[in-house]
Amino acid sequence: MAARPARSRIATAAVANGADSASVWREGRKRLRDHAVKRDAVIQTAARAFRENGFHNTSLDAIAAQLEVTKPTIYYYVANKEQLLFECFVAGLQPILSALRDQKSSTAPARERLNAVLRQYAQAVASDFGWCLVRAEHQDLSAPMSAQVRALKVEIDQGIRRLLKDGHKDGSIAPCDVKMTAFALAGALNWIPHWYREKQALSAAQIADAFVALFEEGLRPRAARRS
């Protein structure tokens, strides 16, 4: 084959695309050897691409290009496109799950525990993986993988319902339809990826605070509260 342009010369100076995903791959001429780190980079890059263009409008070639690599390299780290989406799902759900687990060992009133979870929840959905958490379609996963993701989501839902029930018991949360309330809370938070863009006025934490305030106080003015 005829002489093709030296690729290294281009690569070294092409890491200026915001995400430095490619820097994980090579530093200078040296080919790095950390499988786990690179695999994570693949997933993270995929998540970002999915968020921007959607799952079906993101080709593996595009993800590869973003990483300054070719398509088969991706298949070296992940079985197929479906698994790529799956990994994005779990990576996104993980922080929410751990937030729930953290609160299990707490003795604070349930309302406060709930608020803490909601705050972490907001952070999670505002992340790069937020799109996968919320907008990705289960039909794009095979049955077993879809079931796994669904199980995780159910765990989250049940966790929130439990906090609500606990709140009813300890009196920190007013009586309400647990199922509907959980859906309403999750829904409000899950909508964040639709409108939130980083480098916005408000941080994810601030959004969470605003939401928590609304959920706590309600829209109807409370009687006699002027200090």
Partner DNA sequence: GTAAAAACCTACCAGCCGGTAGGATTCTAA
Partner DNA sequence: TTAGAATCCTACCGGCTGGTAGGTTTTTAC
What residues have CB less than 8 Å from 148, skipping those under 6 apart?
A: 86, 90
Could you list the residues that contact DNA (CB under 7 A)? 1, 4, 7, 25, 29-33, 35, 38, 56-61, 69-73, 75-77, 80-82
Q: How many Cβ atoms are within 10 Å of 24's Cβ, its own excluded?
A: 18
Residue from 197, 222, 226, 227 touching a copy of itself (CB under 8 A): that is 222
CB of 48 to a copy of itself, least distance (A): 14
Binding partner selected for residue 61 from a copy of itself, DNA, none, CB under the kind-specific 5 to 8 Å limit: DNA
Nearest CA to 155 out of 100, 111, 83 is that of 100
Choose the one of DNA, a copy of itself, none that binds residue 172, judging by a C-beta under 5 to 8 angstroms depending on kind. Answer: a copy of itself
Residue 95: Cβ within 10 Å count? 16
Nearer to a copy of itself, 102 or 187 (CB): 187
Tell me, residue by residue from 145 to 174, as one string, x for binding to a copy of itself by CB under 8 A and - for no binding.
----------------------x---xxxx
DSSP 23-73: GGTEETTEE---HHHHHHHHHHHHHHHHHHH-STT--HHHHHHHTTS-HHH
Tokens of 3: 């002489």
Q: Residue 212: phi, psi to the nearest 5?
A: -60, -40
Residue 183: count of CB within 10 angstroms of its CB:
15
Q: Is 78 helix (H, G, I), strand (E, B) or coil?
A: coil
- How far from 207 is each of 94, 122, 152, CA to CA, in Å? 20, 8, 24
* Closer Cβ to a copy of itself, 117 or 185, answer by number: 185
Rounded to an integer, what distance in angstroms lies between the CA atom of residue 22 and that of residue 54?
22
Q: How far is the CB of 90 from a copy of itself (least distance, A)?
A: 18
Residue 30 partner contact from DNA, a copy of itself, none using kind-dependent CB cut-offs of 5 to 8 Å: DNA
Residue with Cβ nearer DNA (7 or 225)? 7
User: What are residue 55's phi and psi, to 5 degrees?
Assistant: -65, -50
State the minimum distance, in angstroms, from the CB of residue 93 to DNA.
22
Chosen from DNA, a copy of itself, none, partner binding at 69 (C-beta under 5 to 8 Å by type): DNA
CB 185 within 8 A of CB 123: no
* Per CB under 8 A, 216 contacts a copy of itself: yes
Residue 102 interface partner, choices DNA, a copy of itself, none, CB cut-off 5-8 Å depending on type: none
Contacts to a copy of itself by CB under 8 A: 53-57, 111, 114, 135, 137, 139-140, 167, 171-174, 176-177, 180-181, 183-192, 194-195, 202, 207, 210-211, 213-223
